């Protein structure tokens, strides 16, 4: 007879309540680090550092290892995270570092499966590949296990699982799909009896897959949040055919020393160079070895920076190995500590298996790297053909975050339209009743294409096509067709209503459902900060001011701000329009340059598609020939 045991407790206590060597198969996807807030004491995932997160899970999974039978298997699905950093953000490699610690603690790693998500969430990041996969580690207490029995005997075995994300009506926002779990169960005989465990049961995806796949089973589901226990009962149609056990939370200890907690990748030092683009240096390289033995010397050239004699500072580098193991991946992660940033771990599919390809860039503050994703010509799956005539923009909020004094406004009149009936010029009524005429940006690329710089003197703007003057004052008596002001605020009652923003994930649906569209006031042009810095330094030197003398011409509150205007690295900043007026009273500023820096316009903030699709970080080997286009 089948048995279902729901254990309502924290994972550590719940695991310790089980008998040793009683579980055949464990499957789980624990809360990812710094990704969700589940709202209960002792939750996993909200630790201050990812090292502490790994340390906790290492202890928890050591307990789980004792509960597995000697030939049992544990499928661990876990996602990665980008570390917040000044400049270029590195990939943390949390899943692989956790797996490494588990192997050190006696786990045997049978294989690293790749779950590729064909319908993955799109990304707004434009200088790296979009995350489209997650690893699934197949771990066991010993090499002799039921997973390897299948793997070694199957002629159709593949380490790549292509499974779509699954929509769910439940208010648990971190659900992996049932089909993924069933794909893992596919390694086993559905008519053989197994005891199956999910230590982070969530909304019951694993249990639903157990019931659907296995004929005979004993299922253990551990879940701390009582509301999720109720979801599991509803989702799996449990009436009186289950047992529920409850245990109180008990804290446990874990050791951080083995993980070097003093390491702080988020504030690691940048390497300084003086050259930006050197003669006869490469703007990118692609090197893939056939063996780990050949890969490690290549990796060493990056670790000791000797490769820099061949590369520009803005180079884009791809290095990988067809032969790999967990150790090779961990060796490569040291690049994040040695003057480089790993922006992507690309998964390259080759037949029924895969190999890692690391996308790395120089860790410097002086120059950004080249990532010409549009050269790949990957068109979006669907065009954004919105019928703008169906949208009444009167009453849309406007937020000015460009000026020092933040202000709010509302669109009260539309003066002119583009050919597709998207507004081109509008009148905005700001707080205190001030009216301004504002130009609306529809295509930023077309705006910037009208900038012409003097190549003989880069700090001079030769021509700017004027969309609108700096003077935007509007006389209300001259307004025509002014419609009645109205609000577009709407009441939302969908599934994300009471869920904190942190728990929305990357869902465009969540954002578009809850957040209203609005206009933001921003610079008309994509102003080049380095160009502005060069211009200000040129004008400063022209007047005979040192940096210190120049700083003393401003109020004391500008003491630290001015230094950021004059620097050309990631710490540089562009003066606000108000600050530019102050600068203009001190230096002889060209009016064209003022228009370049200070001209502003509105831009609609909404969830929309891009014309060009960002490439996925899961690629077929046939795609490798296209990588060079990214830095050409």
Buried b (16+ CB within 10 A) or exposed e, 98-133: bbbbbbeeebbbbebbbbbbeebebbeeebbbbbbb
- Among 239-248, 412-421, 473-482, 524-533, name the one with the lowest average pLDDT: 473-482
pLDDT of residue 448: 79
What are the CA-CA distances from residue 590 to residues 280, 461, 533, 580, 594 (Å)? Answer: 37, 9, 14, 12, 6
Query: Edge-to-edge, what's the strand order for the sheet holding 311-321?
Result: 282-289, 311-321, 353-362, 340-350, 618-620
Would you say 436 and 479 are in contact if contact means Cβ atoms under 8 Å apart? Answer: no
Q: Residue 472 has what pLDDT?
A: 77
Nearest alpha-carbon partner for 147 in 181, 180, 111, 200:
111
DSSP 540-586: HHHTT--HHHHHTTS-GGGTTHHHHHS--STT--PPPHHHHHHHHTT
Q: Is the model's pTM score more than 0.85? A: no
- Residue 533 corresponds to which tokens in the numbers above? 């810095």
Per DSSP, the residues of 206-270 read HHHHHHHH-SSEEEEEE-S-HHHHHHHHHHTT-SSS-EEEE----------GGG-TT--GGGPPP
Q: Please compute the mean of the pLDDT values over residues 486-502 and round it to a whole number.
A: 48
Residue 428 to residue 430: CA distance in whole angstroms = 6
Q: Mean pLDDT, the chain, as a whole number?
A: 85
Contact (Cβ atoms closer than 8 angstroms) between residue 198 and residue 185: no
Q: What is the pLDDT of residues 361-397, one digit of tens each?
A: 999 877 889 999 989 988 766 556 788 888 889 989 9
- Residue 149 is predicted with a pLDDT of 96
Q: In the numeric block, which tokens belong to residue 115?
A: 């779950």
Task: Report how far residue 359's alpha carbon sits from residue 129's, in angstroms, rounded to the nearest whole number.
Answer: 9
Residue 531 has pLDDT above 70, yes or no: yes
- Residue-wise pLDDT tens digits, 197-230: 999 999 999 999 999 999 999 999 999 989 899 9
> According to the model, what pLDDT value does residue 454 have?
61
pLDDT for position 39? 63
Read off the pLDDT of residues 121-149 as tens digits, 9 standing for 90 and up.
Answer: 877 788 999 999 999 999 999 999 999 99
Q: What confidence tier does 260 reach under pLDDT thresholds 50, 70, 90? A: low
Separation of alpha carbons 361 and 318, rounded Å: 9
8 A C-beta contact, residue 627 and residue 318: yes
The one-character DSSP state at 188 is S
Structure tokens at 471: 């003077």
Residue at token pair 């009962």: 233
Confidence of residue 511 (pLDDT cuts 50, 70, 90): very low
Helices (H), 10-165: 11-16, 50-67, 94-104, 146-153
Residue 557 CA to residue 555 CA, distance in Å, equals 5
Tens digits of per-residue pLDDT, 545-593?
A: 999 999 999 999 998 899 999 988 778 899 999 999 999 999 999 888 8
pLDDT of residue 126: 87
Sign of CA dihedral 79, 85, 89, 91: negative
Q: What is the pLDDT of residue 478?
A: 55
C-alpha–C-alpha distance, residues 279 and 277, integer Å: 7
Specify the range with the lowest mean pLDDT, choosing from 79-93, 378-392, 526-540.
378-392
DSSP assignment of 392-418 equals: --TT-EEEE-SSSS-EEEEEEEEEEE-
Domains and CATH numbers, the chain: 3-259 (3.40.50.150), 268-372+612-631 (no CATH), 388-527+574-605 (no CATH)
Work out the number of other CB atoms within 10 angstroms of the CB of residue 539.
Answer: 19
- pLDDT the model gives residue 172: 46
Average pLDDT over residues 303-308: 94
Average pLDDT over residues 326-340: 95
Q: What are phi and psi of 322, to 5 degrees?
A: -70, -30
Q: Give yes or no for a contact between 631 and 372, defined as CB atoms under 8 angstroms apart.
A: yes
Query: What's the pLDDT tens digit per position in 55-80?
Result: 999 999 999 999 999 999 999 999 99
What's residue 94's pLDDT?
Answer: 96
- DSSP code at position 386: -
Asked if pLDDT for residue 495 goes beyond 60, the answer is no
What integer is the mean pLDDT of 267-289? 65
């Amino acid at each position: 007879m089948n048995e279902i045991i729901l254990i309502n407790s924290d994972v550590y206590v719940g695991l310790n309540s089980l008998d040793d060597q009683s579980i055949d198969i464990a499957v789980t996807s624990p809360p990812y680090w710094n990704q969700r807030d589940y709202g209960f004491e002792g939750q996993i995932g909200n630790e201050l550092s990812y090292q502490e997160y790994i340390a906790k899970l290492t202890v928890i999974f050591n307990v789980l290892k004792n509960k597995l039978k000697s030939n049992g298997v544990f499928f661990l699905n876990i996602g990665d995270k980008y570390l917040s950093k000044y400049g270029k953000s590195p990939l943390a490699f949390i899943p692989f570092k956790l797996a490494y610690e588990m192997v050190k603690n006696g786990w045997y790693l049978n294989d690293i499966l790749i779950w590729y998500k064909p319908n993955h969430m799109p990304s707004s990041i434009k200088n790296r590949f979009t995350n489209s996969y997650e690893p699934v580690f197949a771990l066991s207490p010993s090499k002799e296990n039921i997973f390897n029995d299948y793997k070694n005997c199957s002629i159709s075995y593949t380490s790549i699982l292509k499974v779509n994300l699954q929509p769910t009506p439940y208010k648990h926002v971190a659900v992996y799909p049932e089909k993924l779990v069933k794909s893992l169960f596919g390694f086993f005989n559905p008519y053989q009896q197994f005891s199956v465990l999910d230590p982070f049961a969530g909304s019951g995806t694993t249990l639903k897959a157990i019931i659907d796949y296995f004929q005979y089973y004993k299922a253990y589901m551990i879940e701390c949040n009582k509301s999720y226990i109720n979801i599991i009962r509803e989702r799996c149609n449990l009436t009186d055919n289950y047992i529920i056990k409850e245990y109180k939370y008990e804290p446990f200890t874990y050791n951080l020393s083995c993980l070097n907690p003093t390491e702080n990748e988020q504030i690691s030092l940048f390497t300084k160079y003086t050259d930006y683009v050197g003669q006869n240096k490469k703007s990118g390289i692609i090197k893939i070895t056939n063996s780990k033995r050949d890969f490690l010397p290549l990796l060493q050239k990056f670790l000791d920076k000797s490769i820099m004699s061949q590369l520009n500072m803005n180079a884009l580098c791809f290095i990988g190995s067809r032969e790999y193991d967990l150790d090779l991946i961990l060796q490569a992660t040291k690049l994040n500590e040695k003057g480089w940033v790993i922006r992507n771990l690309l998964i390259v599919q080759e037949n029924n298996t895969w190999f890692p390809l690391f996308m790395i860039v120089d860790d410097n503050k002086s120059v950004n790297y080249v990532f010409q994703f549009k050269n790949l010509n990957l068109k979006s799956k669907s065009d954004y053909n919105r019928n703008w005539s169906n949208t009444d923009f009167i009453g849309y909020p406007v937020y000015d975050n460009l000026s020092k004094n933040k202000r709010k406004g509302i669109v009260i009149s539309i003066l002119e339209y583009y050919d597709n009936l998207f507004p081109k010029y509008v009148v905005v009524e700001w707080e205190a009743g001030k009216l301004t005429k504002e130009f609306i940006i529809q295509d930023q690329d077309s705006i910037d294409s009208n900038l012409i710089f003097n190549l003989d003197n880069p700090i001079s703007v030769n021509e700017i096509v004027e969309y609108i003057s700096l003077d935007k004052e509007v006389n209300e008596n001259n307004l025509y067709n002014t419609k009645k002001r109205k609000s577009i605020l709407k009441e939302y009652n969908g599934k994300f209503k009471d869920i904190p923003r942190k728990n929305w994930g990357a869902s465009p649906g969540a954002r578009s459902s809850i957040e209203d569209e609005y206009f933001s006031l921003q610079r008309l042009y994509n102003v080049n900060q380095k160009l502005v810095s060069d211009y200000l330094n040129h004008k400063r030197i022209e007047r005979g001011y040192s940096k210190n003398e120049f700083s003393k011409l401003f109020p004391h509150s500008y003491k630290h701000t001015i230094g950021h205007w004059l620097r050309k690295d990631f710490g540089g900043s562009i003066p606000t329009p108000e600050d530019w007026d102050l600068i203009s009273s001190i230096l002889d500023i060209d009016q064209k340059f003022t228009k370049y820096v200070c001209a502003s316009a509105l831009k609609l903030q909404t969830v929309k598609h891009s014309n060009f699709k960002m490439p996925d970080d899961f690629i077929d080997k046939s795609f490798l020939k296209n990588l060079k286009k990214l830095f050409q």
